[in-house]
C-alpha cells in the first residue's frame, strides 16, 4: 500500500505546504456529506464510483480513509497546515462522530512528546506522525525527505531505545570536557550532564528515569 507524504488535500510547492485546489474541494465535500447524514461507507463508495484519485494509481476509497480525514485537525490549521475546513464544520463532524460512537484513541504521552521534537537528519525539518489506524502510526518528514524504509511507531521507538542504550554504554561521551565552537556548556547543560552521569553510575540505573532526564535536557 502506498503512503502519501502529506495529508490528502495538500501539496508541496517550492518546499511549502499549501492546499491542492482539487483535493481541497473533495475534503470539504466529504465533511459536508457527512454532516448531512451520509455514512462513511456511502461517501467512500461515492468517491470510488466517481474514480476520484487518492494519489497516482489509487482510486479506491475506504470508510477508514474517510474517517481519518474527518478527525484530522490539520484541516483546521493544526501543526502549521493551512486551514481548508472551517472550525464550525469540523466541530459538527466531530459531534456527529461521537454520537455514532467512533473516536480516535489519543497518542501516548511519549508519542505526543516525539511529535513535537523529532527532526529529520537530512534537512532538519520536523517529523510528523500520520495515523494509519486507531493505534499505529507512520512518520515522515514535512520537508519531503524520503526515508529508505518506512518509519513506523515501532521503528521510531526502537531507534530511540538504541540511542539511549548507546548513551548508557558510552556515558563518558556525556562528560566530554572538550568544547566545540558551535556548542557552549552552559550551567544548565552541566547540571543535566552531571545528573545523567550520576544516574548512569548507580548500581541499578533506572532506564525510565534516565530517559526522562535526557528528554528534559533535549528541550
pLDDT digits (tens, 9 = 90+) for 162-173: 887 887 777 776
The answer to whether residues 21 and 78 belong to one domain is: yes
Which of 123, 138, 164 is the endpoint of a domain? Answer: 164
Q: Taking residues 112-127, what's their average pLDDT?
A: 76
Task: Give the model's confidence band at 2: pLDDT under 50 very low, under 70 low, under 90 confident, else very high.
Answer: very low
- What Å distances lie between residue 98 and 95, 176, 204, CA to CA? 5, 54, 46
Q: How many residues does the chain have?
A: 219
The answer to whether residues 181 and 160 belong to one domain is: no
Let me know if 29 is exposed, middle or buried by CB neighbors in 10 A (0-12, 13-18, 19+): middle
The answer to whether residues 39 and 86 belong to one domain is: yes
| Structural domain count of the chain | 3
Here the CATH number for the domain that contains residue 73 is: 3.90.1750.20
CA dist 131 and 64 (Å) reads: 11
Residue 216 lies in a domain: yes
CA dist 195 and 169 (Å) reads: 16
Angle of helix 153-169 relative to helix 109-117, nearest 10 degrees, comes to 80
Maximum Cα interatomic distance, the chain, rounded to a whole number of Å: 66
Residue 5 lies in a domain: no
The answer to whether residues 23 and 57 belong to one domain is: yes
**183 pLDDT exceeds 80?**
no
The answer to whether residues 141 and 186 belong to one domain is: no
47 vs 57: which has the higher pLDDT: 47
What's residue 79's pLDDT?
81
Residue 1 lies in a domain: no
| Secondary element (H or E) of residue 134 | none
Transcribe 53-96 into DSSP letters: -SBTTB----HHHHHHHHH-GGGGTGGGPPP-S-HHHHHHHHHH
Amino acid at each position: 500500500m502506498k503512503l502519501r507524504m502529506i495529508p490528502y488535500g495538500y501539496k508541496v510547492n517550492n518546499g511549502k505546504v499549501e492546499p491542492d485546489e482539487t483535493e481541497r474541494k473533495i475534503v470539504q465535500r466529504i465533511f459536508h456529506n457527512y454532516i448531512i447524514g451520509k455514512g462513511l461507507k456511502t461517501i467512500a463508495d461515492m468517491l470510488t464510483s466517481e474514480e476520484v484519485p487518492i494519489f497516482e494509481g489509487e482510486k479506491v476509497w475506504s470508510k477508514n480513509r474517510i474517517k481519518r480525514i474527518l478527525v484530522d485537525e490539520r484541516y483546521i490549521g493544526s501543526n502549521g497546515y493551512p486551514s481548508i475546513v472551517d472550525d464550525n464544520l469540523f466541530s459538527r463532524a466531530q459531534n456527529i462522530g461521537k454520537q455514532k460512537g467512533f473516536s480516535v484513541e489519543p497518542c501516548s504521552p511519549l508519542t505526543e512528546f516525539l511529535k513535537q521534537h523529532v527532526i529529520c537528519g537530512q534537512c532538519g525539518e520536523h517529523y510528523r506522525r500520520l495515523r494509519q489506524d486507531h493505534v499505529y502510526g507512520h512518520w515522515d518528514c514535512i520537508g519531503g525527505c524520503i526515508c529508505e524504509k518506512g518509519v513506523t511507531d515501532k521503528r521510531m521507538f526502537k531507534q530511540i531505545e538504541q540511542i539511549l542504550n548507546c548513551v548508557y554504554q558510552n556515558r563518558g561521551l556525556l562528560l566530554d570536557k572538550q568544547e566545540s565552537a558551535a556548542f557552549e556548556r552552559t550551567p544548565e547543560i552541566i547540571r543535566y550532564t552531571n545528573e545523567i552521569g550520576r544516574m548512569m553510575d548507580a548500581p541499578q540505573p533506572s532506564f525510565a528515569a534516565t530517559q526522562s532526564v535526557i528528554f528534559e535536557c533535549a528541550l
